[in-house]
Structure 1
């Protein structure tokens, strides 16, 4: 079967929630980019410390890797999972090719995020708050989407594979936590005072 028999309500809800959060982060970064263009010498609202800031990322070539500010990718890109999430909750059923294209888009977003994380840690040596919000929703969205594509028969028509994928979905939060822990560990190994700075922000 090219589509699963029951509506993936949890997956649809997550796509909506992640899209709203991701779009808001992209919007905030876009606003900060405009502020930076208007007043290049002024500190941005998201410049919280030498290690936690947006300015360095937005002014770097990595911040416009495709020739335009990266936040514009988020403003447009997050619309896709939002529409899919709403459609799924409405009972829409999509063919296998549609899910394959959607999965390719999410995989591209995940790959771009991984690259940007590496650039932040090993080249720019700063962590952008709104970028981290984007990472925080892109990573679990990728994990959940991959599992869902196995579960709904996009990758395999085998009932055994689909059933196994269905049992994996509850483990997506744990996989996400482990991914976050890895990012924090890498930041610590790079000498970024990540935990200390985040503790000041939170408390």
Structure 2
């Protein structure tokens, strides 16, 4: 093993969009059918290996309720990456992304990687289209993924993207960056789940 590093990830977004379910799926590869709303913030971690290097992903799962929003800032302020979650079956959670992005840009790390995630794509009653969300993400210049914490679809891809992009932001030279991108495209980079 060559070296180790830590990546702080904050999950933010409205209440009941599936932030805790995404982190639980990533950490434990399971889905909790009786989740309890997060109050304040919850901490979880997972160690993965990237090209023989140990990477510890420290996840701060924040509460989405309005009364806890000031507290959420403590968790995303110094995060290397932020997963901004909305529920594809609830338009108001998508509409509120503008608020969240404004908060993250005003109070978070200016170099933080932001990944907007449309959760619950397994649900039949979808109201936010993929095209609509992709257009919004492009306008806001954030990464965009869709996922299902219930089935696990694309959850690992979210964290793969984060580790890849944090590596790019924090790499000291362009040469290192290009090597990392090539290895990831060759599917030899790592598997998180």
The structure where strand makes up a greater share of residues is 2
Same fold by TM-score, threshold 0.5 exceeded? no
Structure 2 length normalisation: TM-score? 0.29
When the two structures are superposed, what TM-score results if normalisation uses the length of structure 1? Answer: 0.28
Report which of the two has the higher share of helix. Answer: 1
